[in-house]
Amino acid sequence: MDFSQSQPGQMNIDIDNESGVYTIKLGGFVDTASSPFLQKKVEDIASSTYEKGGFNIVFDLDAVEFVSSAGLRVFLLARKIADKQKGNITLINVRESIRDVLKMTGFAKILNIK
């Protein structure tokens, strides 16, 4: 199953699966317009891993310029799925401005940020 795609104008997304760990590289804006697309990809991964387990996602935010509350909800959804499937999610390469938002909203306490 190919999970990699682009959504023109808002957010770029590239998904790689290596040894059962999905790395989702995001770029641009994770906002109200683009977050449903990201949520669909997370749900697709969840359904493909449901039977065998292994819902492990690394969100690489290196090229992300902005995350809205809609984007935060997708990260929270991924966390809930990971908890149900005994998996893990991690956010890496998080810009300081986005890290500040995660801290202010309390998400830094519930998400694994490296």
pLDDT in tens, 23-41: 999 999 999 999 999 999 9
Q: Residue 6: what pLDDT?
A: 45
Q: Provide, for the chain, the percentages of residues in helix, strand and coil under a 3-state DSSP scheme, each rounded to the nearest 5.
A: 40, 35, 25
pLDDT confidence of 8, banded at 50, 70, 90?
Answer: very low
Its pTM stands at 0.88
Q: Are residues 79 and 42 in contact, defined by beta-carbon separation less than 8 angstroms?
A: no
Q: Are residues 109 and 79 in contact, defined by beta-carbon separation less than 8 angstroms?
A: no
pLDDT confidence of 7, banded at 50, 70, 90?
Answer: very low
Residue range 5-113 in CATH 3.30.1490.20: no
Q: Residue 20: what pLDDT?
A: 84
